[in-house]
Amino acid sequence: MSTRLFSPYELRGITLKNRIGVSPMCQYSATDGLPNQWHVVHLGSRAVGGAGLVIVEAAAVAPNARITHGDLGIWNDEQVNAFRPITAFMKSQGAVPGIQIAHAGRKGSTEVPWVGRKAVALTDGGWQPLAPSAVQFKDDYLMPREMTEQDIAQVCDEFAAAARRCVAAGFEVLELHMGHGYLAHQFLSPLANHRDDCYGGSFENRVAFSMRIVNAVRAEWPERFPLFVRLSATDWIEGGWDLAQSVKLARLMKSAGVDLIDCSSGSITPQSQGKMAPNFQVQFAEGIRREADMATAAVGMITQARQAEQILLDGSADLILLARALLLDPYWPLRAAQELKGQAAWPVQYQRAVPTS
Ligand X SMILES: Cc1cc2nc3c(=O)[nH]c(=O)nc-3n(C[C@H](O)[C@H](O)[C@H](O)COP(=O)(O)O)c2cc1C
Position 300 contacts ligand X (CB under 6 A): yes
139: CB partners within 8 A, 6+ apart:
none
Position 231 contacts ligand X (CB under 6 A): no
Residue 130 Cβ, how far from ligand X at the closest point, in Å?
Answer: 19
**Residue numbers 127-186 binding ligand X by CB under 6 A:** 177, 180
Of 230, 267, 268, 334, the one binding ligand X by CB under 6 A: 230
Q: Which residue is catalytic, options 182, 199, 331, 350?
A: 182
Q: What are residue 172's DSSP bridge partners?
A: none
Instruction: Specify whether the CB–CB gap between 187 and 214 falls below 8 A.
Output: no
CA 25, chain centre distance (Å): 8
**H/E stretch holding 321:** strand 319-322
Q: Which stretch binds ligand X (CB under 6 A): 196-204, 248-256, 317-325, 337-345?
A: 317-325
d(Cα 271, Cα 240) in Å, to the nearest integer? 12
Q: What are residue 102's DSSP bridge partners?
A: 60
Position 206 contacts ligand X (CB under 6 A): no
Q: Is 182 a catalytic residue?
A: yes
Site string for ligand X, 247-286 (x = CB under 6 A): -----------------x----------------------
Name the residue nearer to ligand X (CB basis): 34 or 301.
Answer: 301
d(Cα 41, Cα 117) in Å, to the nearest integer? 25
Of 18, 87, 100, 210, the one binding ligand X by CB under 6 A: 100
- Eight-class DSSP state of 319: E
CA 222, chain centre distance (Å): 19
Q: What are residue 80's DSSP bridge partners?
A: none
d(Cα 288, Cα 147) in Å, to the nearest integer? 30
Name the residue nearer to ligand X (CB basis): 147 or 299.
Answer: 299
Name the residue nearer to ligand X (CB basis): 47 or 299.
Answer: 299
**Residue numbers 26-55 binding ligand X by CB under 6 A:** 26
Q: Which stretch binds ligand X (CB under 6 A): 20-28, 30-38, 86-94, 165-173?
A: 20-28
Residue 322 Cβ, how far from ligand X at the closest point, in Å?
Answer: 5
Q: Is the dihedral of CA 280, 282, 284, 290 positive or negative?
A: negative
d(Cα 261, Cα 299) in Å, to the nearest integer? 11
Of 34, 135, 211, 325, the one binding ligand X by CB under 6 A: 325
d(Cα 68, Cα 44) in Å, to the nearest integer? 23
Position 322 contacts ligand X (CB under 6 A): yes
Position 318 contacts ligand X (CB under 6 A): no
Position 292 contacts ligand X (CB under 6 A): no
Q: How far apart are the first and last CA of the chain?
A: 15
Residue 218 Cβ, how far from ligand X at the closest point, in Å?
Answer: 20
Residue 178 Cβ, how far from ligand X at the closest point, in Å?
Answer: 9
Q: Tell which residue, 7, 12, 35, has the closest CA to residue 320.
A: 7
Position 308 contacts ligand X (CB under 6 A): no
Active site positions, annotated: 182
The contact set with ligand X (CB under 6 A) reads 23-26, 57-58, 100, 177, 180, 230, 264, 299-302, 322-325
